[in-house]
Amino acid sequence: MSVARRVPDLDALELLLAIVREGSVGRGAAEVGITQPAASARVRAMEARLGVALLERSPRGSRPTEAGALVAGWAQQVLDAAGALDAGAAALRADGEARLRVIASLTIAEYLMPVWLLALRELHPGTAVTLRTANSTAVAETVRAGGADLGFVEGTSAPGGLGGAAVAADRLLVVVGPRHRWARRRSGVTAAELAATPLVLREEGSGTREVLDRALAAHGGTAPPALQLGSTTALKAAAASGAGPVVVSELAVADELAAGRLVAVPVPELDLRRPLRAVWRAGARPSGPARDLLALARGGSRRPTGGAPSPPAAAAGMLET
């Protein structure tokens, strides 16, 4: 059987991610605009095609199996690649128009960049923007090599050899599923206990992993991970399924915390705040659409406000080199 025949189509992968986010087949079906029976049939077809069970169903809803959490992470990467292909094709069609190549770390790309790009389109409707995603180390390498006009990274320190500016702030949280033993710890856990516990983590090179490793360095270092996953969606699914504690951006888990699908575990001894930065090639200060995207990012908007954005402020005093 060819790879194409084994891999579910994009609509099926989008449905799986919607179910994981919403914790229910019915709510996931509503999110992607299909009926619950159609969604159930599509999930069964995915499970048959892949040869693994993806969901555990109960009267309280549906949650991913351990295999389902892994597949959800891979599905997000497939959809990100498909989005990049679509954006690239759009850029090729935009013959004669201005182009802006952006690369962003996964958290920024998923939770902040859509609003910034929507506002940028109001300012520059003729600019074809391509957006790629990678971990923070790869973002910096791509910008240094001239593969992107503007990059966005997470981490405690600015990448070397690049110009840059802080555009926003973020905080990492330790989260677990509601049935994990730490979920009942109102006082949280100690830094030493967190350091000694095998966690479900992002890969080395990600901004999230850098911040955690640096914070735990004085407490014995980070234990070998229980799992390493390449996307925020996979991390959240793993935590909800009981695979272990996860360290993830506060931006990424607001909905899950509010719905009770995940529980935040305090670690009073640790400061897990981190800046989010824009980066560009040294000596090549952003101009045109890149300069305006930088200004929009510095404005801190996270949600659409319904209406055209205000023109960005002059960015001359906003840049760091």
Q: DSSP states of 60-125 as a string?
A: TEEEE-HHHHHHHHHHHHHHHHHHHHHHHHHHHHSTTS-EEEEEE-HHHHHHTHHHHHHHHHHH-T
In the CATH hierarchy, which top-level class contains the domain 170-273? alpha beta
pLDDT for 3 equals 55
pLDDT attached to residue 308: 32
Contact criterion met (CB below 8 Å) for 279 and 163: yes
Q: Give the pLDDT score at 158.
A: 78
Pairing of strands 273-281, 162-176: antiparallel
Identical fold at 3-69 and 170-273? no
Averages of pLDDT over each 10 residues, the chain, 321 residues: 70 91 90 90 91 88 90 90 79 62 92 93 90 92 94 86 90 94 92 95 84 92 90 89 92 92 95 92 88 89 36 34 32
Fold (CATH) for 3-69: Arc Repressor Mutant, subunit A (1.10.10)
Looking up tokens 């048959």 gives 48
| pLDDT on residue 94 | 54
pLDDT of residue 144: 93
Can you give the residue ranges of every domain in the chain? 3-69, 75-168+275-318, 170-273
CATH architecture for residues 75-168+275-318 = 3-Layer(aba) Sandwich (3.40)
